[in-house]
A and B are shown apart, each in its own frame.
Chain A
Amino acid sequence: MAIQNIIKPENLVYTKSKILTDIPMHYCPGCSHGVVNKLMAEVIEEMGIQEDVIGVAPVGCAVFIYKFLDIDFQQAAHGRAPAVATAIKRLMPNKYVFTYQGDGDLAAIGTAETIHACNRGENILIIYINNGIYGMTGGQMAPTTIDGMKTATCPYGRNNEVNGYPLNITNLLAILEGTCYVTRQSVHNAGSVRKTKQAILKGFKNSMLGKGTSVIEVVSTCNSGWKMTPEQANNWMVENMFPVYPMGDLKDL
């Protein structure tokens, strides 16, 4: 069959969401951030909530997410997104409010804001991109860096005895009374991308049910910081990060 006969509107199965702007995303080629930004756009479009959603942008590589998603956004100081989201959601309870944060943002400088927002059971969705590194500033060690992982500030690999243990903050958040849905996902292949999309959909729906906070950790790659190709980074993540940060739901009330 000639290709022109396949490429017809009635045969369309997948295309870029209209919520995603035409501005080129500034992420490095193959970065997990791009996939998750894209999924946020798809879920917002499918739920038809473009006018009713407010995102809170982090400091980190995703700082310009507000340019890529055509929705309302507030940029927060480093790590403070859950506090800003708390205020927005309390003042505008009829809006879907989410934060989008890296592991440096959420699990280092913003640890207090993260834990207390979840402990208060704020009716927000927290998207947590865990690439085990400070991507934006040149790949320094983060609290989430795993044992033996090389970064700019631990070039011989993290040593748990010296540097402390990788902070599994998602496990901590799952035991708090205030959280209703805590899950760990990834976006390295077609199946995992679809699962993460379902998780985002559930998280947004929860935020309108008064059930408490939903947290989605996406175990991610930073191929530039890890000094690998995108494909190598995905494989390295599956082999080394998944044993420390296992996939699946930790809590679903």
Chain B
Amino acid sequence: MAKIKGAIVVNTERCKACNLCVVACPKDVIALSKEVNDKGYNFAYMQNEDACVGCAACAYVCPDACITVYKVKVEE
């Protein structure tokens, strides 16, 4: 069966740690990091890489256009 695998790349310097992507992700992939960016924000990152399905919900809601989304179909 074909499975969908996704991944996101966060522009950590643009991120303002609003947490809206964390809330929007149906797969609980994203968390805010303990580290901060140059502006002092705890930027978003993929905490749970394996669970991402590339649905882009996180990217749609991000007010700062920080998230790039990739998706691929894998045959098992």
Interface residues of A, Cβ cutoff 8 Å to B? 1, 3, 5-8, 11-17, 20, 24-25, 27-35, 38, 41, 187-190, 193-194, 229-231, 234
> How many contacts between A and B, using CB within 8 angstroms?
101
Distance of A11 Cα from B60 Cα, bound (Å): 17
B7 touches A15 (CB 8 A): no
Q: Which residues of B contact A28 (CB under 8 A)?
A: 16
For B, the interface residue count at a CB cutoff of 8 angstroms equals 35
Cβ-defined partner of B71 (8 Å) among A11, A27, A35, A234 = A11
- Chain A interface helix/strand/loop/mixed: mixed
A190 touches B18 (CB 8 A): no
Residue picked from B16, B24, B49, most chain A C-beta under 10 Å = B16
Cβ-defined partner of A230 (8 Å) among B18, B66, B71 = B18
Known contacts A6-B5, A11-B72; decide if A189 and B16 are in contact (CB<8 Å). Answer: no
Cβ-defined partner of A29 (8 Å) among B7, B16, B55, B56 = B16
Distance of A31 Cα from B64 Cα, bound (Å): 9
Chain B: CB-nearest residue to A42: B65
Distance of A32 Cα from B60 Cα, bound (Å): 12
A187 touches B61 (CB 8 A): yes
Interface residues of B, Cβ cutoff 8 Å to A? 5-7, 9, 11, 14, 16-20, 23-24, 39, 41, 49, 54-57, 59-72, 74
Residue picked from B5, B59, B61, B69, most chain A C-beta under 10 Å = B61
A16 touches B11 (CB 8 A): yes
Chain A: CB-nearest residue to B72: A11
Cβ-defined partner of A33 (8 Å) among B63, B68, B72, B74 = B63
B24 touches A189 (CB 8 A): yes
Cβ-defined partner of B63 (8 Å) among A13, A30, A189 = A30
Other than the known A30-B18, A30-B19, A230-B19, what 19 A-B pairs have Cβ atoms closer than 8 Å?
A1-B5, A6-B71, A11-B54, A12-B70, A13-B54, A13-B69, A14-B56, A15-B59, A15-B68, A17-B65, A24-B39, A24-B64, A32-B63, A38-B64, A187-B61, A190-B24, A190-B60, A194-B60, A231-B23
Could you list 17 A-B pairs, sorted by A, with CB under 8 Å?
A: A6-B5, A6-B6, A7-B9, A13-B56, A13-B69, A14-B67, A14-B68, A14-B69, A16-B11, A28-B16, A30-B19, A31-B63, A38-B64, A189-B24, A190-B56, A231-B20, A234-B20
Distance of A39 Cα from B19 Cα, bound (Å): 19
B64 touches A34 (CB 8 A): yes
Q: Which residues of B contact A17 (CB under 8 A)?
A: 65
A27 touches B63 (CB 8 A): yes
Distance of A17 Cα from B67 Cα, bound (Å): 11
Known contacts A1-B72, A230-B20; decide if A193 and B63 are in contact (CB<8 Å). Answer: no
Distance (Å) between the CB of B32 and the closest chain A CB?
Answer: 11
Q: Which residues of B contact A187 (CB under 8 A)?
A: 61
Distance of A194 Cα from B55 Cα, bound (Å): 13
A29 touches B61 (CB 8 A): no
B63 touches A38 (CB 8 A): yes
B64 touches A25 (CB 8 A): yes
Distance of A3 Cα from B8 Cα, bound (Å): 9
